[in-house]
């Protein structure tokens, strides 16, 4: 039987990062163009690796920061 635990954990981590961002932008109501400032605070999950025993997932969490000029 296949064990679907680790991929579900990866999906859960990704949803917990992106759903608040999606929910926050949908609450604004008014349609507007996407601006570079909208990227500030975005997080990304990448390079997910499952441990050999399947009990842990390691991943890289990326952030977007605004550079001060």
Using one digit for the tens of pLDDT, what is the confidence trace for 1-28? Answer: 455 556 677 777 776 766 665 555 555 5
Place of tokens 């064990």: 3
In this prediction, residue 5 carries a pLDDT of 54
pLDDT on residue 1: 44
Residue 35 in domain: no
d(CA 64, CA 62): 7
**pLDDT: which is higher, 54 or 17:** 54
Return the pLDDT at 12.
72
Task: Look at the chain and report how many structural domains it folds into.
Answer: 1
- Asked, for residue 34, whether it belongs to a domain, the answer is no
Enclosing domain of residue 60 = 1-27+40-69
Q: Is residue 4 part of a domain?
A: yes
Model's pTM, two decimal places?
A: 0.43
C-alpha of 47 from chain center: 12
Residues contacting 33, CB < 8 A, separation 6+: none
3-class SS letters over 12-31:
HHHHHHHHHHHHHHHCCCCC
User: Percent of the chain beyond pLDDT 90?
Assistant: 4
Instruction: Tell me if 56 is assigned to some domain.
Output: yes
In a domain, 33, yes or no: no
Q: Are 63 and 17 in contact (CB under 8 A)?
A: no
């Amino acid at each position: 039987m296949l064990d679907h635990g680790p991929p579900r954990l990866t999906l859960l981590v990704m949803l917990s990062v992106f759903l608040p961002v999606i929910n926050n932008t949908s609450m604004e109501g008014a349609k507007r163009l996407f601006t570079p400032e909208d990227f500030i605070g975005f997080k990304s999950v990448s390079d997910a690796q499952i441990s050999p025993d399947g009990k842990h997932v390691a991943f890289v969490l990326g952030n977007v920061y605004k550079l001060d000029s």
